[in-house]
Amino acid sequence: MEDTLVEIIKKLHGFDELGEYINEDLNSKGELKDHTKKILRKFYQENPLAYDVASGKESYVKLIEPIEKKFKGFWKKVCVPKIDETFDNEVRRVIKSMNHVGVEYINPENFTTDRKRRQNRRILLISAGAGLFTASLPKLIEWSSTTGYNNPGNLFVPIIAAGVMYIGCNLSEYFDINLQYLQESAQKTDELLTQYYIKPPSS
């Protein structure tokens, strides 16, 4: 794919930042000018999903809802998800289409089950190691000078510490911020495409 829609608009008008371009693209009848339509048709041919959004048949806000359902909530953050290739491919399709519009850049891999699974496993290993070390260190000092070294109950301390650390890492704000950023980007992309909708040539 070539330029994003945002880049195309900037080239048309010579602006560095997104502004109220739509006023300059309208003719006296309030319709998009012919040269703008020609450029937009080429863009929409490369990104048919963006055209569906522009026409109102689809919405990126709606299309990202499965991502929110998949990852939002306590247990969905804590548990290691199964890899769902169908879901991951749809995530890539939708977000790559959004990226081609160009309002914001989103890394689609941040929202795949494959990435989330690898992330959770990594957090689990780090939490287990760190939890065991930090919880065991004072106990090792205590056990070395007492007869209670072999008390099985002492094993619960590092296990609980590791579990708390794992849950805490998974409940951090990072993934919530990513979801919020994705929601805001989807909304902005919907709004921009609605401004630049063009009817099919035959109509």
Please give the Cα distance from 16 to 13 (Å, whole number): 9
Q: Which residues contact 86 (CB under 8 A, 6 or more apart)?
A: none
Which is higher by pLDDT, 121 or 59? 59
Residue-wise pLDDT tens digits, 127-149: 556 555 565 556 555 554 554 54
pTM (two decimals): 0.71
As a whole number of Å, the end-to-end CA separation of the chain is: 27
pLDDT for position 54: 95
Residues linked to residue 32 through DSSP beta bridges, in sequence order: 26
Mean pLDDT of 5-22: 67
pLDDT for position 203: 46
The radius of gyration of the chain's CA atoms, rounded to the nearest angstrom, is 25
Of 2-11, 89-98, 105-114, the range with the lowest mean pLDDT is 2-11
Residue-wise pLDDT tens digits, 159-188: 555 555 555 555 454 565 688 899 999 999
- Where are the domains positioned within the chain? 5-195
What single-letter amino acid sits at 8? Answer: I
